[in-house]
Chains A and B, each alone.
Chain A
Amino acid sequence: MASIAVPKRSPLSEALKGARRAAENSSSIWSWIATVDHKRIGILYGISAVVFFIVGGVEALLLRLQLAQPDANFLDPDAYNRLFTMHGTTMVFLVVMPLSSAFFNLMVPLMIGARDVAFPRLNAFSYWTFLAGAIFLNASFFTGDILNGDLGAPGGGWFGYAPLSLREFAPGHGMDFWMLGLQMFGIASLAGGFNFIVTILNMRAPGMTLFRMPVFVWMTLVTSFLIIFAMPVIAVALFELTFDRLFDANYFNAEAGGNPLLWQHMFWLFGHPEVYILILPAFGILSEILPTFSRKPLFGYAFVVFSGVAIGFMSWGVWVHHMYTTGLGTVANSAFGISTILIAVPTGVKVFNWMGTLWGGSIRFRAPLMFAVGTVAMFTIGGLSGVTHSMVPSDYQQNSSYYVVAHFHYVLFGGAIMALFGGIYYWFPKFTGKLMNEPLGHLNFWLMLIGFNLTFFPMHISGLLGMPRRVYTYNSDMGWDFWNLMSTVGAFLIALSVLVFLYNFFLSLRRGKESGPDPWDARTLEWSLPSPPPEYNFKEIPTVDSRDHFWNTKYREDETGRVVPVLAGGVVEPEEEHGDDDEHGHGIHMPSPSYMPLIASIGFPIVATGLIYDYALVPVGFALILIGLFGWVMEPATEED
């Protein structure tokens, strides 16, 4: 859409312009609310994700307390269901995805040599819509009589299987909040997915060809493609559920001939690409940390990139392995069993490449590398238990047992979360100018690794001993007591490690050592900038001539093939100079702050609340969305001075 030069300045447009100017002042709160700067949006994503990580973690601790002893009565079955639903939904949609988004936002423009993403306001819209959905979903807790232990939260599982998610079996409004909240995360993720694909394809610095891009950028690209193709599928499934729950439609109504399995197909058709949406960004982070701390280029760059692309493609052909026991027949089960075994191949390729990167490197065991190595090991365990699920007969035994819980926590916690923590330790200095405390980082790592294994390894055993997942308690004579107690102890160790992390984070923020621009002697473009980078990132857009461009400005090989430092190499861009060009002192026109994305985003939870409680609110919400979008189109992206 074109922005239109409105000839006459109305009082309204003057007021709007004034509000945007107020947000230009980088220290005011408005500058964060109206921000379109990718770095600030990334930081907002990161903070929100950590807050929800704590929320989801507390939910997990409550679940583990209930399961610590047999026949416990700490939580009633209903509260237990609601808490495990919220724990799963929170960790997938409110923690791992936004934390990955935080890194996309923070890193991608810096790594490809761009000043911002392609659509800065769309980026802000993604974040605010995500936050609106997150608050909306968690507000469901308060729709019940929470003081008497009656939680209003959804209780149908993060997978929301029909018919358990239908009104008949999930009365109250919990699942309504779930399905509408998820719809908002979908909109936010889609907007982000479109934005990052365009950014990566179109905003690269001169000379930054696709095969000179850092692997993290590649993984962002693959993830974004998975998002734009997978999210519409869950959107449709959620719409179908919405029509069934709110308007008496029959999609999953067996009485009318409907087939509840349709939900499972749609959910897992989305859900399996989603698994890779969660893990591929972590793979990207590993592929940046490992070369830096081994002081070697990534081993087999092309293999890592192409196996990531292959995983993206193959993730569309494996969804039925979540449904082996639903009776689809031997042909379907065999075909999807084979495709599931095959997807382990590109994943294995990556693991070998990471090991090859470490092999023969001059390794420095700093905190980010500890997390990265831990991730490779833990993810491999999770991957191997995943291969055992791909065998249909074996899966019949493991299905819906704690063995499955162990598996996906090994890949999602041991894989994604640990890598994301590594990413925080790695890039914290870039955005704060301070190093994180190293001994505390090691303490954090070891507590987390031990706690994690103590929590989830015993679940393999309790699962194989027959303990079903999603049960709120168990009998003492089943032989599961010891393993469950171990898991609970481990969960509290993880909680302790997170407390150490938070302490380290705030301590380092206030009193961390100055990091300088390139504390790790790293390879990618973001380290050529001051820490924190200026608003416009690059004063002059760099010209890239090789895959490890920044490294090559610092080191070269001499005649004997030894790596030697380049004299006066690795020149880092100078700090911002003041006094020239314009009021910001750099003469680079950046997109102006905008309130419009936020206004449009606020419309969504209002529409959703209206659908649940009072239709009168629906047009109000839509009006707000329209006002936001119209204002967005009509206001100039960069306010003229």
Chain B
Amino acid sequence: MTLAEYRKKRGEPLIREDADDAHDEKHPSALEYVQIGVILAIVTAVEVALYYLDLDFTLLVTLLCMLSVVKFGLVVLWFMHLKFDTSLFAILFGSGMVLSFAVFIVIVAVEHGSLT
């Protein structure tokens, strides 16, 4: 029995609701993509401007990190469709990001601690 026949027999939808094709219609339009592109450009300009302002270092780092998280989020959620696709992709990619972030923070922290 094929999977499609099996699902039909059990009265399940042929495509699972969280599958990627289930919401093709929700994909953003080209106009929205361009709008996001404009936001990305503006954020980048702000970042560079901040760099030239004579800000307190901690404040500068905080602002720059926040802005790059915004850019990162826009690209990942809209351009890579993570917002619209199945949550499995978000879980997989999120695991990679979190794991990478966590273990390398520990290494940098531990090594800075032991060297200074």
Q: In chain B between 1 and 54, which residues have their CB closer than 8 angstroms to a CB of chain A?
A: 1-3, 5-7
Main secondary structure of the interface of B (DSSP, over half): helix
Inter-chain CA distance A332–B115, complex, in Å, is 13
Interface assignment of A328: CB less than 8 Å from any CB of chain B: yes
Stretch in contact with the other chain, from B62-70, B73-81, B103-111: B103-111
Whether a CB of chain B sits under 8 angstroms from the CB of A316 is yes
Give the residues from 324 to 344 in chain A that come closer than 8 angstroms, CB to CB, to chain B: 327-329, 331-332
A146 contacts the other chain (CB 8 A): no
Residues facing B in A303-321 (CB within 8 A) are: 316, 320
Q: Is the CB of A332 within 8 A of B2?
A: no
Question: For the side of the interface on A, what is the size category?
Answer: 20 to 34
Which partner residue on chain B sits nearest A262 by CB separation? B111
Which of A261, A329, A541 meets B1, CB within 8 Å? A541
Q: B61 near A: Cβ within 8 Å?
A: no
Indicate whether A206 reaches chain B with its CB closer than 8 angstroms.
Answer: yes
Contacts of A262 in B (CB 8 A): 107, 111
> Is A261 a contact of B113 with CB atoms below 8 Å?
no
Decide: A328 and B6 in contact? CB cutoff 8 A: no
Chain A residues lying within 8 Å of B102, measured Cβ to Cβ, are 316
Give which listed residue, A207, A316, A332, A543, contacts B113 with CB less than 8 A: A332
Are A328 and B96 CB-contacts (below 8 A) given A206-B1, A269-B103, A543-B1? no
Main secondary structure of the interface of A (DSSP, over half): helix
Given contacts A206-B2, A269-B103, contact A229 B96 (CB under 8 A): yes
Residues of B contacting A201 in the complex (Cβ-Cβ under 8 angstroms) = 88
Q: B107, A206: Cβ atoms under 8 Å?
A: no
Distance in angstroms from A257 CB to nearest chain B CB is 10
Q: Is B58 in contact with chain A by the CB < 8 A criterion?
A: no
Least CB distance from A315 to B in Å reads 11
Tell me, in angstroms, the Cα distance from A251 to B82 when the chains sit together. Answer: 36
With an 8 A cutoff between CB atoms, is A21 at the interface? no
Contact across chains for B6 and A327 when beta carbons are under 8 A apart: no
Interchain nearest-CB distance for A393 vs B (Å): 19
| A521 contacts the other chain (CB 8 A) | no
Say if the beta carbon of A540 comes within 8 Å of chain B. Answer: yes
Contact pick for A269, options B2, B107, B115, CB 8 Å: B107
Whole-angstrom distance between the alpha carbons of A332 and B107 in the complex? 10
Which B residue's beta carbon lies closest to that of A326?
Answer: B114
Distance of A227 Cα from B31 Cα, bound (Å): 40
For chain B, which range describes its interface: under 10, 10 to 19, 20 to 34, or 35 or more residues?
A: 10 to 19
With contacts A229-B96, A269-B103 taken as known, whether A332 is within 8 angstroms of B6 at the C-beta atoms is: no
Give residues of chain A (228-267) contacting chain B, Cβ–Cβ below 8 Å: 229, 259, 261-262, 265-266
Number of A-B contacts (CB under 8 A): 43
In the complex, chain A residues whose CB is within 8 Å of the CB of B2:
206, 541
**Which residues does chain B contribute within 8 Å of A207, judged by CB atoms?**
6
Separation of A265 and B104 alpha carbons in the complex (Å): 10
Partner of A543, one of B6, B95, B107: B6
User: Contacts A207-B6, A543-B6 given: A329-B99 contact, CB under 8 Å?
Assistant: no
Closest chain-B Cβ to A255's Cβ sits at a distance in Å of 15
Whole-angstrom distance from the CB of B8 to the nearest CB of chain A? 11
Q: Given A540-B1, A541-B1, A541-B2, A261 and B99 touching (CB < 8 A)? A: no
Q: Specify which chain B residues have a CB less than 8 angstroms from the CB of A541 in the assembled complex.
A: 1-2
Chain B residue nearest in CB terms to A204: B3
Q: Is the CB of B6 within 8 A of A261?
A: no
Q: Please give the distance in Å from A41's CB to the nearest CB on chain B.
A: 25
- In the bound complex, residues from chain B placing their C-beta under 8 Å from that of A269 are 103, 107
Residue pair B107, A265 in contact (C-beta under 8 Å): yes
CB–CB A206/B3 < 8 A? yes
Given contacts A206-B1, A541-B1, A541-B2, contact A265 B99 (CB under 8 A): no
Q: Complex formed: what's the CA distance from A269 to B99 in Å?
A: 11
Per-position 1/0 for B78-96, Cβ under 8 A of A: 0000000000100000011
A432 to B45, CA, bound (A): 67
A557 to B60, CA, bound (A): 70
Chain A residue nearest in CB terms to B114: A328
- In Å, the complex CA distance between A609 and B2 comes to 48
Contact present for B114 and A327 (CB under 8 Å): yes
B1 near A316: Cβ-Cβ < 8 Å: no
Nearest chain A CB to B47 CB, angstrom units: 27
Cross-chain contact B103 with A316 (CB below 8 angstroms): yes
- Known contacts A206-B1, A207-B6, A543-B1; is A332 also within 8 Å of B99 by CB? no
Separation in Å of the B107 CB from the closest CB of chain A? 5
Contact, CB under 8 Å: A265 / B96: no
Contact, CB under 8 Å: B99 / A229: yes
Bound Cα distance from A442 to B88, whole angstroms: 46
Having A266-B107, A543-B6, one finds 13 other A-B pairs with CB under 8 Å, namely: A206-B1, A206-B5, A206-B7, A229-B95, A265-B107, A265-B111, A269-B107, A316-B103, A320-B110, A327-B114, A329-B114, A331-B113, A541-B2
- Of the A-B pairs whose beta carbons lie under 8 Å apart in the complex, a sample of 15, sorted by A's number, is A206-B3, A206-B7, A207-B6, A259-B111, A259-B115, A261-B111, A261-B114, A262-B107, A262-B111, A265-B110, A265-B111, A269-B107, A328-B113, A540-B1, A543-B1
Binding site for B on A (CB under 8 A): 201, 206-207, 229, 259, 261-262, 265-266, 269, 316, 320, 327-329, 331-332, 540-541, 543
B residues sitting closer than 8 Å to A (CB atoms) are 1-3, 5-7, 88, 95-96, 99, 102-103, 107, 110-111, 113-115
